[in-house]
Structure 1
Amino acid sequence: MDPMSDLCEFREAIPAANDITYLNTGSSSPSSVDVVESMQDFLEYHGYESPTRKPGMYPQVYNAFDKTRQDVAEFLNARSGEIALTQSTGDGMSRVANAISWNPGDTVVRTDLEHPASIVPWAANGVNTRVIETIDGHVDLDDVKDAVTDARLICVSSISRNYGTRLPVTKITEIAHDAGAEVLVDAVQSVGQTPIDVTDWGAEYVAAASHKWLVGPWGAGFLYVSKDVIPELRPRHVSYRGVDRDSPTLDPHPDARRFEVGTTSAAPYVGLQTALERVSSVGVDAIETRIESLTTLLKDELPASLLLSPRPFESGLIAIDDDAPEQTVEQLAAHDVQVRSIAEPNAIRLSIHAFNTESDIRRFLSVYDDIRRGR
């Protein structure tokens, strides 16, 4: 297949991308027709037909869960038994925090680039937190070594949400393991825009979700947990889906399913299956190459003094210096250009996906130039 043809089909399947200039995937992607239709088909069959047919409503749901775990595992180069289905990245991180047996004085290390989802769970568990200061989105590995000396765990984003910098997860993991610490990776800004192999990263935990670069639905998160640490973990938020109901004492599942709880709709996970199928059919390498091409165009045309993200390609997230980012976002939206504002740094942030086009980039540059001239 022609990669450009696949990318055109990718875009055509996303109505919002054809209605406006959508450059905010790092917050949430617009939905594709095939993802929505797959969820709708599932809901209609499950709600209308399965109650009247054998084997009934439950097997269809559990089959969907099983297939989703397998699809996610293949996408991440993991085992299906190392995948738990969650609602979001933050949900997955909280489940990890609530499953570790913390000791008094335990410390979690994080960078100053982390999303609140990577900050809140530790305080809620009474764990000490140590913060690594970064410079323009880059972390000094010597600072990592100093910080993790006596730490229990380090929590790090694979791609920073503000500068779009790519953190050296594999090297950070090696440093952490040398110090006896575990690693939790927030990978939500990576999954779907760059190839991921969790075995290469070597981290014990990787959390992500489908509603950003995978162009999937809200409510479909997933958590990788290395088979080596699963036996040590005892989730405190438990329900029937997390245990072996054939066990006389309702023991936790021997795999990552022990993190799953309660009755929940399978529709978002059916949508995630469809999203993974679409991304895989286009090819993550082709997606990353296209993102690199479009971000290079933006950086070449943008005044150099405004670019806060690195000029060499790291990701599709681009921070642009702006004196009034919230106002600028509103002005851009009035011209059907969707971006977002961020703090630290004070900027607007573009998220450029492979379904975007050169016309999208030039449209942004034209409108943004007019806004700046009008100030």
Structure 2
Amino acid sequence: MNAQPLAYFNHAGASLMPTSVFNATVSHLQREMRLGGYEAAEQQHEALQAVYSAAAQLLGCDLNEIALTDSHSRGWRDVMNCLHFQAGDRILVGRSEWGGNYAALTHIAQRDGASLETMPCASSGEVCLKQLAAMLDKRVRLISLTWLPANGGLIQPAQQIGTLARAANIPFFLDAAQAVGQMPVDVRALNCDVLTTPGRKWLRGPRGTGLLYVRHGFLSQLRPTAVDHFSAPLTRGNYLLRDDAKRFETSEANVAARLGLGQAIHEALSVGLDDIQNIVRKKAHVIRTHLKDMPHVQNQDLGTQHSGLIAFTVDHHSAHEVRAYLRQHHIEIALNGVAFTPLDMQARGLTEIARISPHITTTDEEIARLLEVISHLRHIAP
């Protein structure tokens, strides 16, 4: 008997690429095979420039505020490493901060003698705006926020936090890894100085791609720790930093992956981010509703509004066991441990959660299969 087709529910980790994205990527690799990397890139010059235009449209910014990266982490880290703090300076993070960001900020704070503090949150998990406003003083030098955390459906009030940060003239870094491609994003409304995202998640682009937004008015404060002749071209006998966000790029890049990313952005814009958000929310709502009716399942989502990430645990079964059981039935989900969102997981006494994330391509039949198999876990001995 043939195995059932894979039902994929880990789009928050790495989405399945559309055929058009795959074709755009592979076609360029074939072009490189025929012509060589440089000649192939020259032929695709206009298509590569269009990637920046599409990214600017996606994020609601100007063309010169976009850089292409090989990951969220690379863009976030390269800009963060431009900042320098002093003893007594304060860095604020959300309780749901991504573990990679938190590790980097811990290192920076220890290096410079700054204090790393967690913004107070309500019982629902969102940052408490009133308490945050009371925390802001001249010693706060940075606010870093993960907009949609990796361990559940919480949506942080990024726009309101950005408004507070801008009024206080405090740099605001926004990790939008789980937002871009899942929901509309407008960096002007968000009042963020820096925004980062990978291409592999909700955008359904190739792995090894990412977007970096740097507000043009903030760029002059940022001097990358390393440059080359692309990021700091030779001008009148001197190497001068570019006056756009491409000062965070280098002369070498995976052109095929970038063209794939451009196609993925085009796909998202063609569908419409409002429509994508509505479809994902409806599918996630169906899953959450049915999981809540299962007595052996505990929903672990925080927030008053929910994204397409669904966190849960199952009585007498670890998240590893839940994922393994689902894999036996050709269903793929994710699991998150403490390392992914350490502050929030530790605060709630969680060691790991299972995570479901549908996309617009997820079918009703796949959702029914997922729920049926999870319901069977009630009868499976630990």
State the TM-score, normalized to the length of structure 1. 0.88
2: CA distance, partners of 1:270 / 1:76: 18
1:40 Cα deviation from its structure 2 partner: 1.1
1:372 Cα deviation from its structure 2 partner: 2.0
1: CA distance, partners of 2:285 / 2:257: 34
Task: State percent identity of aligned pairs.
Answer: 25
1:100 corresponds to which letter in structure 2?
L
Tell whether 2:329 aligns with 1:335: yes
2: CA distance, partners of 1:41 / 1:216: 15
**Counterparts of 1:42-53 in structure 2 under 5 Å?**
42-49=28-35
> Residues 251-288 of structure 1, C-alpha deviation per residue, up to 9 Å, x if partnerless?
00011111112412211110011101111122211111
Tell whether 2:28 aligns with 1:22: no
2: CA distance, partners of 1:147 / 1:333: 46
2:248 aligned residue (259, 266, 272):
259
Tell whether 2:147 aligns with 1:158: yes
Tell me the equivalent position of 2:71.
88
1: CA distance, partners of 2:130 / 2:124: 16
Change (3 A) 1:137 1:232: same
1:245 Cα deviation from its structure 2 partner: 3.1
Tell whether 2:369 aligns with 1:363: yes
1: CA distance, partners of 2:48 / 2:118: 37
1:102 corresponds to which letter in structure 2?
F
1:31 aligned residue (7, 11, 17):
17
Tell me the equivalent position of 2:119.
132
Which range moved further: 232-241 or 268-277? 232-241
2: CA distance, partners of 1:267 / 1:105: 46
| 1:100–1:235 Cα contact (<8 Å) kept | no
Which range moved further: 317-326 or 123-132? 123-132
| 1:163–1:309 Cα contact (<8 Å) kept | yes
**Counterparts of 1:250-329 in structure 2 under 5 Å?**
250-303=239-292, 306-309=298-301, 313-323=305-315, 324-329=318-323
1:116 aligned residue (99, 118, 134):
99
Tell me the equivalent position of 2:357.
351
Tell me the equivalent position of 1:15.
none
Tell whether 2:182 aligns with 1:193: yes
2: CA distance, partners of 1:61 / 1:120: 38
2: CA distance, partners of 1:122 / 1:293: 36
Tell me the equivalent position of 2:60.
77
Change (3 A) 1:46 1:174: same
> Which 5+ residue runs of structure 1 have no aligned equivalent?
1-17
1:121 Cα deviation from its structure 2 partner: 2.6
> Residues 214-241 of structure 1, C-alpha deviation per residue, up to 9 Å, x if partnerless?
1110111111000111112101121222
Which range moved further: 325-334 or 120-129? 120-129
Aligned length: 355
1:102 Cα deviation from its structure 2 partner: 3.5
> Residues 336-363 of structure 1, C-alpha deviation per residue, up to 9 Å, x if partnerless?
1111122324421111211112222211
| 1:237–1:261 Cα contact (<8 Å) kept | no
1:156 Cα deviation from its structure 2 partner: 0.5
1: CA distance, partners of 2:266 / 2:56: 13
2: CA distance, partners of 1:143 / 1:187: 23
| 2:31–2:40 Cα contact (<8 Å) kept | no
Q: Could you say what the CA RMSD is over the residues aligned between the two structures, in angstroms?
A: 2.2
